[in-house]
Amino acid sequence: MVYKRIHIIGSTGSGKTYLARELSSRLNIPYYELDKVMWSSSVEFAGKNPPELRDRLLEDIISEDAWIIEGIYYKWVMRMF
């Protein structure tokens, strides 16, 4: 089995999302934005997702054989390395 896993790290505005989209398109690998894992998308509950939900969302992603993840978070994503 060949794993295809890429984590793009960089500062705000450095082009992480652009690079993730480009690689996703060229390599046919899904990409995920860690901001969407960290932050709630619900308008009425805007803010950080609870750690349990955040960790479950991350586990769902990293359990796949292929993914591209982009984001500056490092403490709670260490297990993906």
Dihedral over alpha carbons 75, 34, 58, 29 (to 10 degrees) = -130
What pTM value is reported for the model? 0.82
Q: Can you tell me the distance from the alpha carbon of 29 to that of 3, in angstroms, rounded to the nearest whole number?
A: 11
Name the residue among 32, 33, 34, 37 with its Cα closest to residue 49.
Answer: 37
Q: Can you tell me the distance from the alpha carbon of 25 to that of 50, in angstroms, rounded to the nearest whole number?
A: 31
Q: Which helix (H) or strand (E) holds 64?
A: none
> One digit per residue, pLDDT tens: the chain, 81 residues?
677 999 999 888 999 999 999 999 999 999 999 999 988 876 666 788 899 999 999 999 999 999 999 988 767 777 666
